[in-house]
Chains A and B, each alone.
Chain A
Amino acid sequence: MAQAKAKKNGIVAKKLVGMADVVIAAAQRAKDPTFEIPMRALSNVSFNPRKGLIEMGDKKQARSFFNVGMAKKFMQTMLVADALAELQQADLTTSLREIYYRTKHTIQDSHENTFDTQDESDPIIEDLEVSLVALREELHVRAENSGSIVGPVVFGDDGDRVDCAKLGKGGYSVPSIVEPEYLEIRRCTADFLLLVEKGTQWNRLSEDKFWRRYNCVLLTGNGQPPRGVRRLARRLHEEYKLPVYVLVDNDPWGYYIYSVVKQGSINLAFESQRMAIPKAKFIGLSSADPERYELPRNVGIKLNEKDITRAKELLNYQWFQKPAWQQEIKRMLTSGLKYELDALANKDFQYLTKKYLPRKLKEKDWLD
């Protein structure tokens, strides 16, 4: 494992040094140093229905030094590359914010800062990920740990054995880098994986030991799941053949979270390959549920303008073209209401654990 890691390090470090070579070579030939960066936008993304993935197209944008509009970004790109290379050499991981602080300084003889806010450095790291075809983990940049897992699964983390069935109701905090070199899955006996949007509902299920009763893994990303959570779900799905079910709020954002888990996101389309779970199923809350589960109308929330616009956008996405999905979204629009998972508590505190999910699983009531 350590060897694989070292090898990867070597490749990434070489790629980063290669950027300096681009500048030097261009300077020698009196050319404008330029990088080509694949575009990360809806216009450069396409849905591959066969694979069920969002894939990135070939459109690239040039970033040249001697262009007034790009000069600063070019300079910033070099600084970030330098910082990332430093991480490789020292074999450390760091956060996005630390990269920002590491590369921030006031340019000599001026009052201009290399970076003014983190908003400037974050996209550059993503630029480097795509243009160097290196994963963020390979660049040694981690996000915050913002996911939890509980269930019959055993990890090996830095040599420690972590049995997620013996971690009480708090579970194990999912690290942001879960590549095999960093996190080993030693054993998994679960039958399926339930990815819950909200931490509160994950807590409910964990507290009620839902996972023990139904022999499943409970995973949450506290909202839009971060890379670590998505990647871990994908690994469990791939390596242990666990079916994945997604439980989200019934609103356009919930639908989108599901679609990101399933097909990948527009921004990180280049990572769909190793993150997306095309077979993931949408278990709820569906816009049909309020009627089916007799939720009173008064626990709904009126869709606001943003919700409506977003829902209409979703209707146009290629990956929401299945008739069932069109019907699902349109049903929400006609009702004019959205429902939170928490609203189930209106019937009973344990309604989710004891009635809703059991019935859903029994009836195989999910969307693909």
Chain B
Amino acid sequence: MVTAVEMGARQREISVSEFFTKNRHLLGFDNPRKALLTCVKEAVDNSLDACEEAGILPDVTVKLEIVTTGQTPVAPSQATRFRITVTDNGPGIVRQQIPRVFAKLLYGSKFHRMRMSRGQQGIGISAAGMYGQLTTGKPVKVISRTGPRAAAHYFEVQIDTKKNEPLVHENKQIEWHQSQGTEVTLEVEGRYQKGRASVDEWLEQTSIANPHVRLTYRTPEGERKEYPRSYHELPPSPKEIKPHPYGIEFGALLKMLQDTKSQTVAGFLAADFCRVSPALAEEMCKSAKLSPNTKPRDVKHQAAEILYKTIQVTKIMAPPTNCISPIGEKAILSGLYKQIKGEFYTAVSRPPAVYRGYPFIIEAGLAFGKGPEEATKPQQASVPLAEGEDQGHDTELARVIRYANRVPLLYQQSACSTFKAVLSTTWRNYGVTQSRGALPAGPMVIFVHMASVWVPFTSESKEAIADYDEIQKEITLALREAGRRLGIFLRRRERAASEFRRRNIFDLYIEEVVAACNRLKGGHLPTEKLKEQLHKIASSRTGGVKTDEALGKTGVGPEGLPHSIIVTAEGIEGETEIAQQSPVSEAEAPVAMPADSTPTRNAPRGGKRVVKPSPAIVKRTGVAKAKGTGGQQEMFAAEPAQAKKAAPRRTSTRKTPSGAAKPTRTRT
């Protein structure tokens, strides 16, 4: 028997840090492999958030080194301990804050703000530090410099897990080669593996969604990988907003009522929420049978509940959406094009939408195909096919890459709203095969990004987006649009190929038919004459000229395909709209891309093709009416990458400058 007094003696406060020490899987440190990735991710996220907020184009270096405990060097796949160093060119951190930023859980600038950022809670980097401390006993080492005139500070900090307070081991001024920025070094237990959900994959995907970042990665093997900047513009800085009345829970409302600085309820409603005008606030008070002049602190129990319910039924304007900054179609295209080999790329940004009072934007992208080099390969196969063999239709499934606020999500794919939306989209409508309840099949990468002030993750480790109907609907709409464009591309390609095949098969079969006739007639047939006659019929029936046109040899760009790039063996047909603000979406939507930027897709893809950036080669090749807006928009087609080896075998008529302004075409 235990008495209440004895039990009481055992009851005491649990510090957050202690709690997380025991529950580290909640933060993404379940196993050594994932832990290594989480540490890299948290450090890089922090760097990018800081750079973007300070308006600096991020330049981030990630270095993974093996820490050997004994004498013998260990292979990267066998190593158990790593030193992670992440260096950025960001604004740096003021000296006094460094210990708390890196060694105090739930300390940060992002939690209390309704503003879109990668980090949300302020646990990330300190949790990574704590993980390192738990597994290796080593402190977090930080170098930070706020500018060329400031001194660089070096810190070694650890976390006091009982008190959740930083312990500073070392603090000195040092010489640092960088004029500005921060460098974090963590030593952690981990496991390095390539492939799915690896550090390499995460960095690659980060680079796709953040083409404005220059990323350098030194692998544990000592290899140096560069992910160059392909988009030279910072995403527009997101604004901070106040909470929207619809997104608030009852408990939160009670707390806000207690904490507010306003003197009256009406004033509180108007001042502490967005989209509530003084008039609307009075109206709400009236409906809730409250005097607008009641002191907020006096609104309790029953009255508060009625007020809460009134708020939910009052018609309030959707929250402003300038607090989110989407990646933008052009940037997504440039990111996909840079990292993924394919024949077709497209990107879709949805207009802003709202769930639970939080605004969000869904963006989708698609890269399809194996790249022009691969696509032409099977035509060279010369071995006769045996029965049962065919021309290798692969059954590879599409890959889904998911992002929340520009951060790649690698784990728990099937629990994620984005993944479910991909599955529930009927890709067969767009000419892609798909078995029931499975991903579409084909060489395809599907990109989905959710940008929001508050992304609803299913857990603290931020691995999957929760399944809100509004979110699901937006993702589905974005995917459908991308799918439609893919369908157009595939059909067009198919049509061209079948026209080509049409003449081709006749050419082939005429030989066979004539030979058979000749044998039937005992070998006395004027075969050449017969062939000629048949060829004549063939070309009169199929229209040779049209075939060339359909094949794109006479110069057809990706018409009717906004925000898309088509890559063929002959070159690249890309077009990127100079996007003006779409008048359909809300006035405050910041989806506009600055109008002067030129499409630059000049980065080596897969480390193979290298092209120098040269805006001068961008030529205007056509004017087309843009769908929906009705306004004339200029379409730019970038010159095909004239790389050393990518020089087309045939001279492509498409490139002749004489063919400049083509007449406007109306699409059906």
Contact = CB atoms under 8 A, between A and B. Distances in A.
A113 B517 CA distance: 19
Interface of B: 381-385, 387-388, 391, 498, 501-502, 505-506, 508-509, 511-513, 516-521, 525, 530, 533-534, 536-538, 540-542
Nearest to B381: A111
Contact of A116 (B387, B505, B521, B530): B387
B536 A23 contact: no
A110 B381 contact: no
A16 B520 contact: yes
A72 B509 CA distance: 7
Contact of A107 (B383, B508, B525, B533): B508
Contact of A68 (B502, B512, B536, B540): B502
Contacts of A30: 533, 536-537, 540
Interface in A50-75: 65-66, 68, 71-72, 74-75
A65 B533 CA distance: 13
Most chain B CB atoms below 10 A, which of A19, A71, A106, A113: A71
Given A32-B537, A74-B509, A24 B384 contact: no
Contacts of A105: 384
Interface residues of A, number: 36
Contact of B391 (A109, A111, A117): A111
A152 to B, nearest CB: 46
A363 interface: no
Contact of A65 (B385, B501, B509, B519): B509
B382 A20 contact: no
Contact of B517 (A23, A86, A109, A111): A23
Contacts of B520: 16-17, 19-20, 78, 81-82, 85
13 contacts: A19-B520, A20-B517, A24-B530, A27-B534, A32-B537, A65-B506, A65-B513, A66-B538, A68-B502, A71-B505, A82-B516, A106-B385, A116-B387
A105 B387 CA distance: 11
Interface of A: 16-17, 19-20, 23-24, 27-28, 30-32, 65-66, 68, 71-72, 74-75, 78-79, 81-82, 85-86, 105-114, 116-117
Given A74-B509, A109-B508, A17 B521 contact: yes
A109 B533 CA distance: 21
Nearest to B542: A66
B537 A75 contact: no
A28 B533 contact: yes
B505 A66 contact: no
Contact of B384 (A17, A31, A68, A106): A106
Contacts of B381: 111
B537 A74 contact: no
Contacts of A16: 520
List of 5 A-B pairs having minimum Cβ-Cβ separation, nearest first: A20-B520, A27-B533, A78-B516, A20-B517, A106-B384
A349 to B, nearest CB: 44
Nearest to B507: A109
A141 B509 CA distance: 25
A19 B516 CA distance: 10
Contact of B512 (A19, A107, A117): A107
Contacts of B517: 20, 23-24, 78
B384 A71 contact: no
A27 B509 contact: no
A88 to B, nearest CB: 11
A124 to B, nearest CB: 12
A189 B603 CA distance: 92
Contact of B506 (A71, A78, A113): A71
Contacts of B541: 32, 66
A62 to B, nearest CB: 15
Given A20-B525, A23-B530, 7 more contacts: A65-B506, A68-B505, A72-B509, A78-B512, A85-B519, A107-B511, A117-B388
Contact of B513 (A78, A108, A109): A78
Contacts of A24: 517, 521, 525, 530
A27 B527 CA distance: 12
Contacts of A111: 381-385, 391
B521 A20 contact: yes
A42 to B, nearest CB: 30
B537 A82 contact: no
B532 to A, nearest CB: 9
A30 B509 CA distance: 17
A74 B385 CA distance: 21
Most A CB atoms within 10 A — which of B384, B516, B533? B516
Contacts of B502: 68
Nearest to A105: B384
Nearest to B382: A111
A27 B391 CA distance: 33
A72 B505 contact: yes
Nearest to A86: B519
A113 B385 contact: yes
B612 to A, nearest CB: 39
A114 B513 CA distance: 11
B521 A110 contact: no
Nearest to A113: B385
A368 B534 CA distance: 55
B413 to A, nearest CB: 38
